[in-house]
Amino acid sequence: MKRREFLKSATALAAAGVTAPAIWSPAKAQSRKETLLTISENGPNNLDVQGLGTNRPGYEASWNCYDRLISHETKTLTDGSLSYDRDKFKMELAEDMNVGDMSITFKLKKGAKFHDGAPVTAQDVKWSYDRAVSVGGFPTVQMKAGQLNTKEQFVAVDDSTFRIDLAKKDRLTVPDIAVVVPGIYNSELLKKQATEKDPWGLDYTKSNTAGSGAYKVTSWKPGVETIYERNDAWVGGKLPEIKRVIWRTIPSGGNRRALMERGDADLSFDLPAKDFAEMKKEGKLKMISNPITNGLYSVELNVKNPPFDNEKVRQAVAYAIPYQKIIDAAMFGVAKPMFGAASNDGPGGAVWPQPTGYSTDIEKAKALLQASGVGPIDTTISFDLGDGVNSEPIAVLLQESLSQIGIKTTINKIPGANWRSEMAKKSMPLMVNFFSGWLDYPEYFFFWCYSGQNAVFNTSSYVNKEMDAFIDGSREAIAVGNQAKYAADVKGFVSKAFAEVPRIPLFQPYLNVATQKNISGYTYWFHREVDYRAIVKG
């Protein structure tokens, strides 16, 4: 081959590389107007929230494709963004909800149909609730949080009336009916799909939607894309504007950003704080950010074993944490501080999360450590590598700060797959961790993280009778509407948690979303997924 020929062929190759069409071909421009292209790092692994090991993106499919009896109203926050309203419920599949003394009765909307055209009846509702409390794992635990424990509690009175009998009064029962888990499934369809090994048709709902919701999944390629089509016969609310949603999984954060900035994607969900801060500065896109309700990043100390069984050591750590540095350097300012309050006895009232009275004070930390009488400390800081983007810089800053008061640490990065099992072992002495509860009530957070039931999330293994009395007391008080006792109990458990610091709150993180400027209606939800029903493309 001659040089000239070679060069010719090389140029031809290079030219082939640049004649590429734009992402939207003109023939499809019309459908683009009615279609929303969403991108995120991960896609669903299961379309059914009641399935085995469904991940968070899977909740989104459930939320948009199934109806619940009731849902939440939307409210506008002070910064102009939209959020669900924790305290106001609206009817979805139910036409009417009647909360009696020890039961709740629902009347179903007339004309509600599943995607296959079968009418929605109270028998379907009963079957779906039975399913939620029977499949085990996460959905069943979530139902229990609202005292929805056994099949016997659910009664189909007639075709359009459904009743829940309460075992115990609890204010979390009604909110728990509006979470993702108790969606209404097409029981006749699923009974046909069920097998002896799989009596609830979980295999079928894993990759098919069998609901009555505003959308149905028409194509699902795990790890690649999910396509929703609107259900025009939806009666659960106002018919959504978006006809079709294409949800692509784009693992590379840089590419997600490029897609948004070039205007090829409509909505990018759950951005890392760094990208969010930078993109906001550039001002090309609509950037929305909401604090994650009932969610906290904390430093958690194992109180079962030395040295952190000593309260003074824990307080010393709480004074040694470089709080502001963490917010600035690890979270790029996109976080709500949870430190530096006037005192440690819950001055914010009956709300959660609220700031502790701690702030960075190395001298005080040194003094406390000396007063504790505990010898030289050498320990490990553990964190979940799956959340490394936030946790790793926090751990490094923490390590540096602890060394200033003479606590030597090594950093232990735990792969995402192992994090849960490590948490369950309860042997990590000190960790950086995140917890958030769907139900946005202080007692709900404390029930998981501080109570004597010692759930997985009580990583400190903190068990204290007085604390339990406060938590149980608050739940009982609010169930019967005793606001004064409730407020006192909340103040009780908050100030106790802050004084004894088995976990040291750092900050409340934000859920960050970027959309093109012509997209409106994005609403923050406790489940931290996109609700496509409210989105409008202008």
Partner 1 sequence: MLTTIAKRLVTVIPTLIGVVIVTFLLTRVLPGDPAAYFAGPAATADSIAEIRKTLGLDRPLPEQFVHYVSDLAHGNFGNSLSTGRPVSVEITSRLPASAELTLLGLILSLAIAVPLGILAAVKQGSWIDHTCRVVATAGVSLPVFFTGLLLVYAFYYLLGWAPAPVGRLDAFATAPPQITGFYLIDNLFAGDLETFRSALAQLILPAFTLAIFSLAPIARMTRASMLAVLASEFVRTARASGLNDRTVIITYAFRNAMLPVVTTLGMVFSFLLGANVLVEKVFAWPGIGSYAVEALLQSDFAPVQGFVLTMAVLYVALNFTIDILYSVIDPRVRLEG
CB of 226 to partner 1, least distance (A): 12
CB of 423 to partner 1, least distance (A): 8
Residue 104 or 423 with smaller CB distance to partner 1: 423
Residue 42 or 482 with smaller CB distance to partner 1: 42
CB of 118 to partner 1, least distance (A): 25
186: left (phi over 0), alpha (psi -120 to 50) or beta: beta
Cα angle vertex 269, ends 268, 270, to 5°? 130
Residue 169 or 248 with smaller CB distance to partner 1: 248
* Single-letter amino acid code for the residue at 13: L
C-alpha span between 314 and 533 (Å, rounded): 46
C-alpha span between 142 and 149 (Å, rounded): 10
> What sections of 283-415 are H helices per DSSP?
311-320, 323-325, 362-372, 388-404
CB of 227 to partner 1, least distance (A): 9
357 CB burial (10 A radius; 0-12, 13-18, 19+): middle
CB of 50 to partner 1, least distance (A): 11
C-alpha span between 131 and 444 (Å, rounded): 24
Residue 32 or 312 with smaller CB distance to partner 1: 32
Instruction: Take residue 525 and report the two structure tokens written for it.
Output: 């939800």
Residue 89 or 204 with smaller CB distance to partner 1: 204
Neighbours of 266 (CB within 10 A): 23
List Cα–Cα distances, 350 to 153, 301, 419, 490, 496, in angstroms. Answer: 31, 25, 32, 6, 14
Interface residues toward partner 1, by CB under 8 A? 1, 3, 6, 9-10, 13, 16-25, 27-28, 31-32, 35, 37, 39, 45-46, 51-55, 136-138, 140-142, 145, 206-207, 221-225, 246, 248-252, 254-255, 258-259, 261-262, 264-265, 386, 415-418, 420-421, 424, 448, 455-457
Residue 234 or 383 with smaller CB distance to partner 1: 383
CB of 248 to partner 1, least distance (A): 5
C-alpha span between 334 and 159 (Å, rounded): 50
Residue 41 or 165 with smaller CB distance to partner 1: 41
Q: At what angle do helices 311-320 and 362-372 cross, to 10 degrees?
A: 160
Residue 47 or 318 with smaller CB distance to partner 1: 47
SS3 317: helix
C-alpha span between 161 and 157 (Å, rounded): 5
CB of 178 to partner 1, least distance (A): 17
* Single-letter amino acid code for the residue at 488: A
CB of 411 to partner 1, least distance (A): 17
CB of 111 to partner 1, least distance (A): 33
Residue 23 or 77 with smaller CB distance to partner 1: 23
